[in-house]
Amino acid sequence: MLTLPFFDESHRQFAERLQVFCADKIETAFREADTDPLDAGREAIRLCAAEGLLARLVKTPAPDMRGICLIREALAARSGLADAVFGVQGLGSYPIVLAGSAALRKRYLPRVATGEKIAAFAVTETEAGSDIRSIRTRARAEGSGYVIDGSKTLISNAGIADYYIVFAKIGDASAGEKTRLSAFVVDADTPGLRVARQIPLLAPHPIGDLELQKCRVPGDHRLGEEGDGLKIALATLDRFRPSVGAAACGLAGRALDEAQGHVTRRTQFGHPLSSFQATKFSLADMQTELDAARLLVFRAAWLADSRDGRFTREASTAKLFATEAAQRIVDRAVQLHGGRGVVRGVAVEQLYREVRALRLYEGTSEIQRLIIADHMLM
Ligand SMILES: Cc1cc2nc3c(=O)[nH]c(=O)nc-3n(C[C@H](O)[C@H](O)[C@H](O)COP(=O)(O)OP(=O)(O)OC[C@H]3O[C@@H](n4cnc5c(N)ncnc54)[C@H](O)[C@@H]3O)c2cc1C
């Protein structure tokens, strides 16, 4: 991976340091079947902060996405949960980096870096998933601030977050007004905001539903102008989608390592599994898909770091291919393990559960295909 052309020497040194940190700290802390997602999420933030990883998320004018992708790949190889929490800390802080006032940045970003503030990004609603534009949460101007009412679902870091980036519409369409989707920083202890429930997932992940009832937010907690919400959401997703692909590569790379180890140790019909041609073909296909995924991921991250313009198509291509490929790679790794592959607690079994959500969050694979095709047809 480090031989890819997209890195400079500092990335190479950083990647080596990450391997040591993740093997020493993340592997031991999280590879357990019955992790409590909230406690584990807080611990992941603590460890990542102590290692200086969160500080990389809040760099202005933008985080170094090759570095962020290296982090997510390394974390995911050891713990899907630690990776997810780290990724959401980025999703929930980049909108402030991008569009927060100087005062807001000063108040939040240093604390995001130290882990004192855990971030979350709240777009999805029961009736507004892929279709972000249809969100119903409302913000109305009152005095010098806003009052927000609505609800959100499937919000990662709900329950451990200290603040949420909440997307809400200003203006009442039913009264014939033009609506303006806008983004706000809402502190978790704001009266009227509550985590309505935690949602158990296939693999441990802190996630839940939010309710906002008459939540008063100061005027300077609005990000950008009224109506900038969609632009902020899409710019944040563009920037972080390659990192979801990187996490997929981390899970897939780990699955491939596990499979390679297993087929050399396990003997059937008097020979190691690795001596069978079918096994070799399987390993070769897994490695090829993983290499291709990494190339797309780091191409997109490199473009994000080096180009002022948009890299939307490349970001979606990386996310689409890497997450779909990772699903196939992890599935093959389970197959190569035989029955042991689905035993609770075996590494590939956990990877199989962890990889599934990546094809859904930050835009499903179908939405990535629509984005890619729309750019082709522009
Ligand atoms: C683990 C996890 C973490 C998440 N974290 C967050 C978070 O932190 N913040 C947040 O705001 N949200 C979060 N989400 C929500 C996530 O972003 C949504 O689940 C996702 O955008 C899809 O929305 P939906 O679930 O409503 O599915 P729907 O939009 O209802 O889609 C259902 C199916 O229809 C397909 N589909 C929809 N529209 C089209 C179309 N036009 N063409 C073709 N197919 C289509 C989809 O691809 C999908 O297969 C998370 C989800 C998961 C699973």
Question: pLDDT of 303-327, one tens digit each?
Answer: 999 877 779 999 999 999 999 999 9
Distance, in Å, from the CA atom of 263 to the CA atom of 343, rounded to the nearest integer, reads 17
CA of 364 to the centre of ligand 1 (A): 6
Q: Cα 306 to the chain's mean position, in Å?
A: 21
Q: Are 212 and 166 in contact (CB under 8 A)?
A: yes
Q: What is the pLDDT of residue 3?
A: 65
pLDDT 10s digits, 114-135: 999 999 999 999 999 999 999 9
Peptide bond into 37 cis (omega under 30): no
Domains of the chain: 9-114 (1.10.540.10), 119-225 (2.40.110.10), 230-376 (1.20.140.10)
- Helix/strand/coil for 119: strand
Q: How does pLDDT run across 13-41, given as a tens digit for each residue?
A: 999 999 999 999 998 887 655 678 999 99
Report pLDDT digits (tens) over 37-70. 999 999 999 999 999 999 999 999 999 999 999 9
Residue 329: is it exposed, middle or buried by C-beta count within 10 angstroms (0-12/13-18/19+)? buried
Q: Nearest Cα to 40, choosing from 85, 106, 10?
A: 85
Instruction: Indicate the top mutation candidate among 212, 234, 360 to test ligand 1's pocket, ranked by most ligand atoms within 8 A of CB.
Output: 360
Pairing verdict, β 193-198 and 180-187: unpaired
Mean pLDDT of the chain: 95
**Which residue of 124, 136, 151 sits with most ligand 1 atoms within 8 Å of its CB, as the best mutation to test the pocket?**
124
**Mean pLDDT, range 320-335, rounded to an integer:** 98
Cross-strand partners of 145: 142, 218
Are residues 254 and 351 in contact, defined by beta-carbon separation less than 8 angstroms? yes
Number of the ligand 1 atom closest to the C-alpha atom of 120 = 8
At residue 116, φ and ψ (nearest 5 deg) are: -65, -30
How far is ligand 1, taken at its centre, from the CA of residue 130, in Å? 5
Atom of ligand 1 nearest to the CA of 124: 11
Catalytic site residue from 125, 289, 349, 362: 362
Rounded to the nearest 10°, the torsion over CA 165, 29, 200, 192 is: -30
362 is catalytic: yes
Burial 27-60, CB ≥16 within 10 A → b, else e: eebbbeeebebbebbbbbbebbbebebbbbbbee
Q: What is the structure's pLDDT at 240? A: 97
Residue 17 has which token pair?
């340091």
Q: Which of 88, 151, 154 to mutate to test the pocket of ligand 1 (most atoms within 8 A of CB)?
A: 154
Cα of 59 from ligand 1 centre, angstroms: 29
Q: What is the 3-state secondary structure (H, E, C) of 278-327?
A: HHHHHHHHHHHHHHHHHHHHHHHHHHHHHCCCCCHHHHHHHHHHHHHHHH
Pair 83, 203: CB distance under 8 Å = no
Cβ atoms < 10 Å from Cβ of 84: 30
Q: Which residues contact 340 (CB under 8 A, 6 or more apart)?
A: 262, 346
Half-sphere exposure of 19 (CA within 13 A, CB side): 9
Residue 1 confidence (pLDDT) above 60 = no
For residue 249, the surrounding DSSP H or E stretch is helix 229-265
